[in-house]
Amino acid sequence: MTEHPIRIAKHSLVIAGHRTSISLEEPFWIELKKLAVDRALPLAALVAEIDSTRGSANLSSAIRVAILEQIRARAQAVEPQ
């Protein structure tokens, strides 16, 4: 198996009226955008929602965890009972 480097890219957003940036690997960025579409939310609104519930966690880390939770929920929904 050939390993590909995972690149982290910085993305700038305006949330809660202030400009912020998040650093995410491309697969997480893609899933974040899909999650926003699935929830019919603008990307900035979804990030603001995650930001408001993250506590003391780093925003980029909180986003990764939110994406992981969404993927787990989807997988659980399709598993046979």
pLDDT bracket for residue 81 (50, 70, 90): low
Domain residue limits at 69: 26-78
Domain membership flag for residue 64 = yes
Is 3 within a domain?
no
3-53 pLDDT, tens digit per residue, is: 666 788 899 999 888 899 999 999 999 999 999 999 999 999 999 999 999
In a domain, 21, yes or no: no
Q: 74 falls in which pLDDT band (50, 70, 90)?
A: confident
53: which 2 tokens?
A: 């519930």
Q: Residue 18: exposed, middle, or buried by beta-carbon count in 10 A (0-12, 13-18, 19+)?
A: exposed
The structural domain count of the chain equals 1
Full-model pTM: 0.84
